[in-house]
Amino acid sequence: MAEAPIDLAGMPSVPLAERATYRDRTPREAVTAYCQRNPQVVIGLIMVVLLLMIGIIGPLFVNTKEADPLSALPSLHPSRQYLLGTDDQGRNLIAVIVAGLPATLRIGFLAGGIGLGIGIILGFLSGYLGGVVDAVVRVAVDTLITVPGLLILILIAASIKTFISVNIMALVIASLAWPRPTRIIRSQVLTMRERAYVQVARRSGMNTMEIIVRELLPNIFPFLAAGFVGAVSGAILFSIGLEALGLGPQNDPTLGMTIYWSIRFNAILRGLWWWWAPPIVILIVLLLGLLLLTIGLDEIANPRLRRTA
């Protein structure tokens, strides 16, 4: 499918004969056309929704209490009773997947949402107000971005290892998830604050908060949607990295901790594929689905990527 030519302003140039057709489209037709030219969004959404349904519907068919240690005989091969067998701690691994997938998603959504939320607040205030506020935020962001994030997270997680839970893990990751979105949002706001509609709103008597909420935020919302999906993906990757080192919630059956226990008990060398393979496959599907969603949403956020149907 050919891409639309780019005009001098950097926006996709759409023939005049087609612009009326676009204006005449109903919201349903516009969504359908968007999905047709961006099948990766549909595929990614289906992948993520199916995994979400495992966490929602799964407990109706699987007893998640069997994800606790000593709930079954240890090291059982897959069978009709235990579809994915059991591990050395006597946990039903299908129950571990059903209980662990929502926990992993909760870490991603909490950490990504908190990090992006802080980035939105600081980015808008820094970009719009400027002055001392902008200088302080810019120095803090530039300093933290240069610091190896995973190393800092390892030090934080190691210091509170005995108290860590799913929610605390999300907060630990969120503590370093805001500098990058802050920098990107600030740059977007800097380009918008001098535009005509912002100047008109300022001269009409609107205060700073009203301008940010009513004028700036709606224009940057598509970018924030793509940024949120990317933030969730990054948070999940960071959580898996920490959990693979044994720095995750010890008492919660997250996917990362399942991989950690399989490594600790040499499941790969012992041929216990049902212990380590399912969580890895699910993580690959989850991250691939989020990646496809991010690629598709980038077309809305970035006009240079837009194509005509």
Q: Please give the Cα distance from 93 to 79 (Å, whole number).
A: 12
Tens digit of pLDDT for each residue in 124-142? 989 888 889 889 999 999 8
Which amino acid type is present at position 161? K
- Calculate helix-pair angle for 273-301, 93-129, nearest 10 degrees: 30
Q: Please give the Cα distance from 162 to 151 (Å, whole number).
A: 19
Q: Say which residues have a Cβ less than 8 Å from residue 152's Cβ, sequence separation at least 6.
A: 176
Regions of the chain with pLDDT less than 50: 1-20, 22, 308-309
Q: Which two tokens stand for residue 138?
A: 């810019």
Residue 306 pLDDT = 54
Residue that the structure tokens 């993906």 belong to: 233
Q: Which two tokens stand for residue 225?
A: 């949607």
Residue 1 pLDDT = 40
CATH class of 46-305: mainly alpha
Contact 43, 292 (CB under 8 A): yes
Sorted by where each begins, the domain ranges of the chain are: 46-305
Number of other CB atoms surrounding residue 167 within 10 Å:
15
Contact 71, 99 (CB under 8 A): no
Contact 239, 174 (CB under 8 A): no
CA-based Rg of the chain, rounded to a whole angstrom?
23
50 DSSP β-pair partners: none
Contact 239, 167 (CB under 8 A): no
Count of residues for the chain?
Answer: 309
User: Among the residues of 66-164, which ranges form H helices?
Assistant: 93-129, 131-145, 149-159
Residue 208 pLDDT = 80
Residue 154 CA: distances (Å) to CA of 140, 145, 172, 269, 288: 21, 16, 10, 27, 25
pTM: 0.82
Residue 294 pLDDT = 86
Q: Please give the Cα distance from 79 to 239 (Å, whole number).
A: 31
- Provide φ and ψ at 180, rounded to 5°: -65, -50
Q: Please give the Cα distance from 301 to 13 (Å, whole number).
A: 17
Q: Up-side HSE of residue 304: CA atoms within 13 Å toward CB?
A: 3
